[in-house]
Amino acid sequence: MGEAIAAIAKSRDWMNLMVLADYNIERAKEVQKKLGDEVRYPVETIDASNQENIEALARKYEVDLIMNAVDPLFNKQIFAAAYNAGVNYMDMAMTLSEPHPADPFNKTGVKLGDHQFEKARDWEKKGLVALVGFGVEPGMADVFARYAADHLFDEIEEIGIRDGSNLVVEGYKFAPTFSIWTTIEECLNPPVIYEEGKGWFTTAPFSEPEVFDFPEGIGKVEVVNVEHEEVMLVPRWVKTKRATFKYGLGDEFMDVLKTLHKLGLDNKDKIKVKGVEVSPRDVVAACLPDPAHLGEKMHGKTCAGTWVKGTKDGKKKEVYLYQVADNQDCMAKWGCQAVVAQTAFTPMIAMDLLEHGIWKGVGVLGPEAFDPVPFMDRMTEYGFPYGVREESPL
């Protein structure tokens, strides 16, 4: 994700400096070499589990913003480091959830982002802004939700994020196109649904399957409920009777995830193996190909979007606002595969709007907190045009 953000930033003159910080310094150097600018893109070793390390690096370079592009396991300390260093913060996924201890498939425990929103008043008092959930989903999809509420509907019955693709990876029996660590987290945790009058509640993983017809040749894909930040973000700023997130995983992918869960290989906690402490989930991640280097073997398109159902001028209406990224196009333009490239353009546009004073605010804010029009106006300029389908997609 950091590589894709840096690649998109390269053509933006207003971006004076972007520090490429990684636990694996060789990975940072690889990205720096690819970008071809050691002055504008200095590299540093960083330990995202060490808050003081993050703060020291932010002060060393006098940065304006810390961009959190790592697994959300590290969000709490990166979020706190930005606050202590007195700089703005942005992430693409919020702090992790904790299932309800007694009734996980009906009641929420600690929800995604709860920790961050509990700190909102502190950030306000300090005059800083923490932008949370600024990827593609969450992120662009939330911008679309706000746009639909502001410009397309009088009353909204449901906002449903729908994500699907026809991507294939040559040469692998199983090759996730995004972080397997994050994929396990969001797919095996109880999905959250929001309903007016009931609030947030949970259901079983992979529940409520439906077939959704995705645009631009992707076609019909079965999607299921998955835990995701949009369901926590949208109702905070947009009035809707229901909010859901459904993802096209496919039977084989779901079977693999279910098997990992049965074997305990989705566990985050470390266990001892021949005297060495290791997290089973980290072992799974180490056994799989790195999504950052799959681009040349990937083919197809991925679609992220927001389906909205409601009324306008007394008439029922359904709209799907979406963005389709073609892997070959993304590889040609940025040298990054479609899933990460599509996720990376949102934080870049958000930085652009902050830098130029178009988006303003303090506290902990999601994408819905801002005027969506300036963001959507920039999408084509950044190489990720959006589409609108104004008929029922179901």
Range 158-188 burial, b when 16+ CB lie within 10 A, else e: bbbbbbbbbbebeeeeebbbebbbbbbbbbb
pLDDT of residue 145: 98
Count the domains in the chain: 1
What strand order describes the sheet that includes 88-91?
Answer: 65-68, 88-91, 129-131, 363-365
In a domain, 18, yes or no: no
Residue type, 298: M
Q: Are 6 and 27 in contact (CB under 8 A)?
A: no
| Cα Rg, the chain, nearest whole Å | 20
Q: Are 324 and 384 in contact (CB under 8 A)?
A: no
Q: What is the pTM of this model?
A: 0.92
In a domain, 324, yes or no: yes
SS3 call for 239: coil
pLDDT of residue 394: 46
Within its chain, how far is the Cα of 132 from the centroid?
Answer: 9
CA separation for the pair 8, 18 (Å, rounded)? 12
CA separation for the pair 72, 171 (Å, rounded)? 29
In a domain, 59, yes or no: no
CA separation for the pair 114, 121 (Å, rounded)? 13
Q: Are 286 and 321 in contact (CB under 8 A)?
A: no
pLDDT of residue 393: 44
- Copy the structure tokens of residue 257: 């995830």
In a domain, 233, yes or no: yes
For 304, phi then psi, to 5°, come to: -120, 135
Residue 216: which region, alpha, beta or left (left: phi > 0; alpha: psi -120 to 50)?
left
β-strand pairing of 271-273 with 276-278: antiparallel
- Copy the structure tokens of residue 159: 């906002």
Which CATH number fits the domain that encloses residue 221? Answer: 3.30.360.10
Sequential pLDDT tens for the chain (394 residues):
899 999 999 999 999 999 999 999 999 999 999 999 999 999 999 999 999 999 999 999 999 999 999 989 899 999 999 999 999 999 999 999 999 999 999 999 999 999 999 999 999 999 999 999 999 999 999 999 999 999 999 999 999 999 999 988 887 777 777 677 777 877 888 999 999 999 999 999 999 999 999 999 999 999 999 999 999 999 999 999 999 999 998 777 788 888 888 888 888 888 898 888 888 888 888 887 777 677 778 899 999 999 999 999 999 999 999 999 999 999 999 888 999 999 999 999 999 999 999 999 999 999 999 999 999 999 999 999 999 998 654 4
Closest CA to 207 of 229, 230, 188, 191: 191
Q: Are 164 and 221 in contact (CB under 8 A)?
A: yes
Range of the domain at 148: 140-334
CA separation for the pair 183, 376 (Å, rounded)? 27
- Copy the structure tokens of residue 138: 């969450």
State the helix-helix crossing angle for 338-355 and 2-9, rounded to 10 degrees.
Answer: 50
In a domain, 378, yes or no: no
- Copy the structure tokens of residue 69: 């592009």
CA separation for the pair 378, 343 (Å, rounded)? 15
In a domain, 55, yes or no: no
Query: In sequence order, which residues have a C-beta less than 8 Å from that of residue 57 and are 6 or more positions away?
Result: 19, 21, 44, 46
CA separation for the pair 89, 129 (Å, rounded)? 7
Q: How far is CA 354 from CA 137, 206, 385, in A?
A: 20, 37, 21
SS3 call for 86: coil
Counting every residue written for the chain, the total comes to 394
In a domain, 358, yes or no: no
In a domain, 44, yes or no: no
Beta-bridged to residue 199, according to DSSP, are 195
Strands (E), the chain: 20-22, 43-45, 65-68, 88-91, 129-131, 155-165, 168-169, 192-195, 199-202, 210-214, 219-225, 242-247, 271-273, 276-278, 298-299, 301-312, 315-326, 363-365, 387-389
Q: Are 195 and 221 in contact (CB under 8 A)?
A: no
For Cα atoms 343, 239, 390, give the angle at the middle one, nearest 5 degrees.
65
CA separation for the pair 76, 40 (Å, rounded)? 28
CA separation for the pair 31, 18 (Å, rounded)? 12
